[in-house]
Structure formats: structure tokens, C-alpha cells
């Protein structure tokens, strides 16, 4: 029956969300659904909770979205001597933080994270909106580079920290790894970023940026090339319930030349990563960590960086 074939296509989803779901006797042609291991029941509950949380965050974000459409105003630092020349940041002050949103989003996604950072001493936090019509990650990375140069000139800081959500993390990584941005980016924190490409939503391939986020694309291939001497410290937060990452591990970084810490987040989905207070705490810890020696001895050195791993469980 045609109806039976339609219902059959939904069986994997039903098995994931409701592992104890009984068979459907009203459709004789549909085989009984096999029972799944008891451990998957907890996974289904966690997945359902994460999905509900993501939907609630999406609803709230849609209300805030108009407030983040325009670029934020960036007042100059007050002059120290009345000459009109902005004063440089104190020597011991932490570097400015640049926030970079994801695909078809804007700076409003970082409202809570920005407040959290400010409450803990990070007062120089700025956001960059790139156009939703952006058709090339490389072009967006060049724009980010100009934005960071302007921040450094305005604040007197030689380096910045960057937090990128989803596509924003990929743009920032391209700038740091392929455009010499490691001279400016001290620490790059990525949240749910498809570092190795994602296969989710194949119908979205009409957008060129989505095609660049696919496994095997030119951009992903460029990021897999050697990057000896890269100075940036990379911290990647990836979620085991991220519905936009396929496979899930694509949101972690695996590169022999990069100084990397991968942090697995358990219990929340893609949209909650830049919002959840537990993740915000992890971001602050990553940004406040003592700067390590990230320089490499030479391009011919046989020593490679071994990614460090960590975990963060969200109840």
C-alpha cells in the first residue's frame, strides 16, 4: 500500500524518539518495530529535550533578530591626553573579543553570551554582521580580517580573541589558517562549526556558501592542507545532539599542525551552544587560559600538534 510505504519512511525517526513504541497492527503490511537497547531510551529523551530547547531558543531568537540587523556602533576609546587619539588598552587588559554569527543570522544571537562576558571582565566585545547574501567564505574571511585590523588600530591591542558560531567559526578559521590571521587571532573558539563539512539539508545546496560547507568542497580541502607555524589556539565546542552536523564529529578539529582543544558538549543542540550558561562558562575559561607557546619550530619540523579533548555535560 502507498500509505504503508509513507509510514515506513518515518520509522527511523520514531525509533530514535520513541524506542519503546509498539508495533502498528492497523497496517498489516508494516513489520513490527523491533525493540531497541535500553540505553537508547535515554538518548531519545535527551534528543527530545534538546530539540524542544532548540525550538524555544529559536522562537526567542526570532523576536530578537530585528535588533541585530544593523551593524553595532563602535565608539572609539576615550583619549588619554585630550588630543583625540584613542588610548590603547592597558598592558594587562585581555584582548578584545570578536563575535561572529552563523548562516542567515546576525549579532543578536550573542546577546546572552555578550552579557556573560561583560559580567566577568570582558568589556571590549564587538560583533560583526556579514550579509546573508554572502556567497563565498573566503570573501567573508577577508571582511573579518579588515574588521579585526580596524579593532586593533582603534584599541591599540595587537591581537584579539574570536568566538564563532557555526559558519562564523569556519570563516574565522579560514582567516586564521589561510589568510595570515593567526598574527591577529590569539584564541579562536568555535561553536557547532562544520570543520570537516556537513551533509545535512541537501536541498540547501542551491546556496553557494552551503556548498562550501559540504565535505570535500574546495574550502574544506584548503583547511585540511598543512598550516605549519599557525599561532592561533583553537577551541572547538561540539555537541553530540547537534542536528545540523552530519556526522556529529565534523564539528571537532583534526589537523596535525594546529594547537587544538576539542570539547564535547552533552545534552544540548546546535542553537543552544551560544546561549547556554554552561557553554558560556567554558568559553570564558578558554579565553582566560594562559597563553601557550603556539609557534612551531619550522615548516620542516616533524612534530605535530595532538588535539586535546574535554567534556561538558549539560543537565
> What angle in degrees, to the nearest 10, is found between the helix axes of 137-155 and 167-178?
70
Q: Tell me the DSSP string of 190-249.
A: EES--TT-----GGGGGSHHHHHTSTT-HHHHHHTS--TT--PEEEEEEETT-TT-SSGG
Task: Indicate the range of 68-72, 142-146, 182-186, 233-237 predicted with least confidence.
Answer: 68-72
Residues counted in the chain: 315
Contact 126, 99 (CB under 8 A): yes
Is it the case that residue 28 has pLDDT exceeding 60?
no
The grid coordinates of residue 71 equal 551593524
Q: Determine the pLDDT at residue 172.
A: 98
- Strand-pairing partners, residue 98, are 126, 162
Model pLDDT for residues 187-230, shown as the tens digit of each residue? 999 999 999 999 998 888 989 999 999 999 999 999 999 999 99
Predicted local distance difference test score (pLDDT) of residue 304 = 45
Q: Does 95 score more than 60 pLDDT? A: yes
CA distances from 315 to 43, 262, 279 (A): 13, 20, 12
Query: Other C-beta atoms within 10 Å of 203: how many?
Result: 6
Position 292 scores a pLDDT of 54
pLDDT in tens, 124-153: 999 988 877 789 999 999 999 999 999 999
Q: What is the pLDDT of residue 142?
A: 96
pLDDT at residue 5, rounded to an integer: 44
Q: Which domains does the chain have, with CATH numbers?
A: 1-33 (no CATH), 61-296+303-313 (3.40.50.1820)
pLDDT recorded at residue 314: 67
CB-based contact 161:93 (threshold 8 Å): no
Which of 80, 71, 115 has the alpha carbon at shortest distance from 97? 115
The pLDDT assigned to 242 comes to 95
pLDDT at 187: 98
Which residue in 263, 179, 154 sits closest to 171, CA to CA? 179
Looking at residue 301, its pLDDT comes to 36
Give 219-238 pLDDT, tens digit per residue.
Answer: 999 999 999 999 999 999 99
- Give the whole-angstrom CA distance, residue 259 versus residue 286: 13
C-alpha cell at 33: 518495530
CB distance 123 to 76 below 8 Å: no
Residue 227: Cβ within 10 Å count: 20
pLDDT digits (tens, 9 = 90+) for 232-288: 999 999 999 999 999 999 999 999 999 999 999 999 999 999 999 999 999 999 999
- In sign, the C-alpha dihedral spanning 187, 280, 51, 47 is positive
277-288 and 111-119 helices, crossing angle to 10° = 50
Residue 294 has pLDDT above 50, yes or no: no
Amino acid at each position: 500500500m502507498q500509505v504503508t510505504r509513507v509510514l515506513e519512511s518515518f520509522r527511523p525517526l520514531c525509533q530514535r524518539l520513541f524506542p519503546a513504541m509498539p508495533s502498528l497492527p492497523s497496517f498489516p503490511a508494516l513489520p513490527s518495530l523491533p525493540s531497541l537497547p535500553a540505553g537508547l531510551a535515554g538518548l531519545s529523551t535527551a534528543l527530545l529535550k534538546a530539540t524542544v530547547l532548540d525550538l524555544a531558543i529559536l522562537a526567542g531568537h526570532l523576536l530578537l533578530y530585528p535588533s541585530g540587523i544593523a551593524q553595532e556602533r563602535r565608539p572609539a576609546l576615550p583619549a588619554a591626553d585630550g588630543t583625540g587619539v584613542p588610548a590603547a588598552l592597558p598592558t594587562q587588559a585581555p584582548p578584545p573579543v570578536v563575535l561572529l554569527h552563523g548562516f542567515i543570522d546576525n549579532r543578536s544571537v550573542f546577546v546572552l553570551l555578550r552579557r556573560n562576558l561583560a559580567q566577568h571582565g570582558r568589556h571590549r566585545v564587538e560583533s560583526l554582521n556579514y550579509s546573508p547574501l554572502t556567497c563565498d567564505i573566503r570573501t567573508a574571511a577577508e571582511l573579518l580580517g579588515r574588521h579585526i585590523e580596524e579593532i586593533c588600530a582603534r584599541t591599540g591591542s595587537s591581537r584579539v580573541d574570536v568566538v564563532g558560531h557555526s559558519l562564523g567559526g569556519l570563516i574565522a578559521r579560514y582567516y586564521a589558517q589561510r589568510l595570515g590571521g593567526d598574527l591577529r587571532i590569539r584564541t579562536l573558539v568555535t561553536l557547532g562549526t562544520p570543520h570537516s563539512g556537513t551533509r545535512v539539508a541537501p536541498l540547501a545546496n542551491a546556496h553557494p556558501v552551503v556548498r562550501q560547507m559540504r565535505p570535500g568542497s574546495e574550502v574544506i580541502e584548503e583547511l585540511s592542507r598543512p598550516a605549519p607555524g599557525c599561532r592561533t589556539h583553537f577551541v572547538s565546542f561540539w555537541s553530540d545532539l547537534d542536528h545540523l552536523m552530519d556526522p556529529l564529529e565534523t564539528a571537532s578539529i583534526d589537523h596535525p599542525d594546529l594547537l587544538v582543544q576539542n570539547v564535547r558538549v552533552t545534552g544540548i543542540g546546535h542553537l543552544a551552544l551560544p546561549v547556554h550558561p554552561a557553554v558560556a562558562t567554558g568559553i570564558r575559561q578558554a579565553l582566560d587560559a594562559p597563553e601557550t607557546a603556539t609557534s612551531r619550530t619550522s615548516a620542516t619540523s616533524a612534530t605535530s600538534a595532538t588535539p586535546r579533548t574535554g567534556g561538558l555535560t549539560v543537565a
